[in-house]
A and B are shown apart, each in its own frame.
Chain A
Amino acid sequence: MSILVLKNITKSFAEGDGRAVDDVSLELSQGEILALLGESGSGKTTLLRIIAGFEKPTSGRVILNGSTVADRKVFMEPEKRGIGVVFQDYALFPHLNVRKNLEFGLRGLPAAKIDDRIAEMTGLTGTSELMKRYPHELSGGQKQRIALARALAPRPQLILMDEPFSSIDGMLKAHIRKEIRDILKKSGTTALFVTHDTRDAMTMSDRICMLRKGMSIQTGTPAELYNRPLNAYVANFFGRTNLIRARVTDRGLQTAFGLFPFKGSEKLKNKNVLLSIRPENFAVKQDNEGCICGNIVDKSFMGDYYELVCEVHTEDGDIEELLVRTTAEKNCNGELCWIKPRKGKIHILRDNQELSGNEQQEGQF
């Protein structure tokens, strides 16, 4: 059963302004963790605020647990929605100690029940010794756990988190991501969080919804978005890749680098397509059989692998660059290398638009 359904949500802040959120539809099922991923200005935080009830959608419908909470006619105030929110700045009440902060959302419950609930939340988040402290006496990680415990305490149907890891340092981050995912899964909470960091999205979520310029461009599991991006933008956002034009023929994919083996569907036959091949999906070899030959023009040592930039003389007489990876040092000591796409690792983008120069740079590598 879907906890949250968004239907064609659109938001523009002022008449004549562009759309901050543009016709986004989404479903979230019980217990699922979904990441809204995008650059700044992609509308992800606006969408989160619409779900929470801090903004009204210009059009579209928000359905929470089967009942409409926002559309053209209906608007349910945020305090009635039963949605927990963890803010980027945690927004702990500075004049209340941790225990009072946790109690804030439990108004109306009998005292014994409040005690139980707080014990449960602090047990879950490992914060039981912090009850007497005030927010300014907590570390960043502690604040975040308290903010999460406070949001979880009233047992919300859904929890929303705005850039939950943006103020946590690199080393600690991996640990906290895992911890929070565990807490959410243990308590069976449905959660939606906003992030601009692909690593946060991939490690935390069950599914990712990728937003760009207010539009949802692809929704799927982290592996789907990484391995089978719909277009060049998504492919680039999830790491570096080689975008190569090709034509589907009977013998395989005809590219400027030669023929790549491919068993295509009938549908694509004789069509021009755009391929995305990630650097690790090229095999770097010592022999030249069936391989592309490239000049190594740049070599970077990345710790557990080398990244090579190779110049290749194409069949049209141009020079093009390919980015490849190898773990073997001996492969990259010479001036030349031989490379070949790995079997089954060639991905055809459904949307064959190439990115303009500056759009490519926007993506994260």
Chain B
Amino acid sequence: MEIVRTTLRRIKEEFPGTGKIAPALLVTIIILVPLFVIISEFLRPVTGIWHHFTSSLLQGYILNSLLLLAGVGAGTFVVGTGTAWLVSMYRFPGRGFLSWALVMPIAVPAYINGYTWAGMLDYTSPLYSFMRKSFGTDTGAFLFVDILSAHGAVIIFTLSLYPYVYLICRAYFINQSATLLDTAASMGRPAVYTFFRIAMPMARPAIVAGVTLVMMEVLNDYGLVRYFGVETFTTGIFTAWFAFGDRGTALRLAGWLVVIVLAVIMAERLQRGRARFDILGGSYRPVRKRDPGRPVAMIITMLCSLPFLFGFLLPFTTLVRWTIQTAPDVVNTSFWKLAANSFMLAAAAAVAGMAVSLLILYSHRVSGSKAVYLLSKTATLGYALPGAVVAIGIMIPLLWVDDSVHLVVAALDKGTVQWMVSSSIFALLYAYLVRFLAVGYNSLEAGYERISKSIDESAASLGSTGKRTLREIHLPLLKGTLLGGGLLIFVDVLKELPLTLILRPFNFDTLAIRAFEYASDERVAQSAPAALIVILTGMLPAYWLNRMITRRRRVPAQIRKPPPE
């Protein structure tokens, strides 16, 4: 003990200020563990059934993943930039409503959207009967067969994810230089020319950032591709882990997935170069909205309604209809317990995420430590890691901890330990922290950037200690940011699927899992109540993000991920 104490004192003397940053450094390193596990495993020699995967499956995974990335990338690009441009530049009936309605599909997780559509196009569905009556038997069958495929997945992903591109581009178009656009117009150029030659090139970094986010969501997805029968890396990880019980192969697949994710991030970095798009413009003059004339305006209204209709309104009303049908059977005490479970888990993750973000950012602010900064920036990479990868990266070290505990207990002859850390709520929360830290961190960092450094210094010059400044100055000023960031984590956890599926304790279900299980059991209607709760909760931050863009005229930090280098 004496030795430890002396060493600690020595460290304190040698590196003054270590006390301030030690907790932050420790937490950051813990968050980085899964990433290290994946990378170190990736560098080890090949074992197990990996050869089986490379010979028969890997090629399919790669092809499918690339097809999805390309298709969804193109789809969200067209729908996202197109709607953002029309809403920002033209006056048309319903513009005000559509400008935020177009954000709403972000609240519908892709897998829910996917199986709802599959259900809507089912042989017994009203839509199918309608099609059969109007166009003959084949039309419905064609649609139904087609949707459960890679192409169908591309369409569903596009409908669910285009709001990422829409939000970023909208923020960009709202803030773009009105003068520049007016100049183009005054030179007699048609609006189409302005769009393709001026607005698009200028917004390119923003558009690519949005599409990058979309691609990460695609790589993260498990529910939709599994339901649609598209084999990708994520489903491969599940197969290797659960069907073959081969950890090595699951890890190796996770490693490859990380390589793809890093490639996407690198590509985004490279094209962005030194361009900046997060805080836009000094002097601001709103863009003059054009009046396209009655017939064109009607067409624009129709075009902008489509993504909202297919991405939100139709699936949402269908889910409401199903809920009304099945609620008497499904919504019972166990359902409410499930909901409470989910909410508590999400709330705990939100609190933990914001608390850790605050710890790291506060330490960095008072110490100015480069180490804290670099490590924490790396830790926010967790957001780019697909949920299945994070889960595997956490499972491996925690299983090791469990094994060691068992060995020690057995050696001491104290009987057996029932409890295992690798399948506990703790493991789940740890994983959420790794995956969603960036969400809270980015919000809070933006919040801290708005508090001038001289505020801290003037508090100090008035005799305030660091703790008092944190309590009486930072916390009140960051209240909104903490709530907002927490809400985003809350919603992300609530709809999270692959990570929760792997790490959840035995017999522990969440709303997302219950909905997905019902849907997988061909009881789509029964999944509706759980899905509806997830969607309704998700609408809160969707509304909030949209308001932030139009009021503050800047891209909210929360959708500014992908994380930095």
Contacts and interface: CB of A to CB of B under 8 A. Distances in A.
Given A91-B452, A94-B477, A95-B477, A79 B458 contact: no
A107 interface: yes
A95 B471 CA distance: 13
A89 B461 contact: no
Interface in B360-415: none
Interface string A172-198: 000000000000000000000000000
Given A91-B455, A94-B477, A95-B477, A52 B461 contact: yes
Contact of B455 (A54, A77, A79, A93): A93
A84 interface: yes
Contacts of B458: 85, 87, 91, 150-151
A83 B455 CA distance: 15
A95 B459 CA distance: 13
Give the secondary structure class of B's interface: helix
Interface stretch (B64-72, B173-181, B462-470): B462-470
Contact of A79 (B452, B461, B476, B477): B461
A72 to B, nearest CB: 13
B473 interface: yes
Contacts of B464: 79, 104-105, 107
Contact of B454 (A81, A83, A91, A105): A91
B459 A104 contact: yes
A261 interface: no
Given A54-B457, A78-B457, A91-B458, A105 B452 contact: no
A364 B457 CA distance: 31
A28 B215 CA distance: 63
B127 interface: no
Contacts of B473: 93, 95
A82 interface: yes
Nearest to B466: A79
B11 interface: no
A327 interface: no
A54 B452 CA distance: 14
B477 to A, nearest CB: 6
A85 B461 contact: yes
Nearest to B468: A107
A207 B256 CA distance: 69
Contacts of B454: 87-89, 91
Interface in A245-267: none
Contact of B461 (A84, A93, A107): A84
A164 interface: no
Interface in A84-116: 84-85, 87-89, 91, 93-95, 104-105, 107
Interface in A51-96: 52-54, 77-85, 87-89, 91, 93-95
B477 A104 contact: no
Interface of B: 452, 454-455, 457-465, 468, 472-473, 476-477
- Nearest 9 CB-CB pairings of A with B: A105-B462, A91-B454, A85-B461, A91-B458, A87-B454, A78-B460, A79-B460, A95-B476, A91-B455
19 contacts: A52-B461, A77-B460, A78-B457, A78-B460, A78-B461, A79-B462, A80-B463, A81-B461, A85-B457, A85-B458, A87-B457, A93-B459, A95-B476, A95-B477, A104-B459, A104-B462, A104-B464, A105-B463, A154-B463
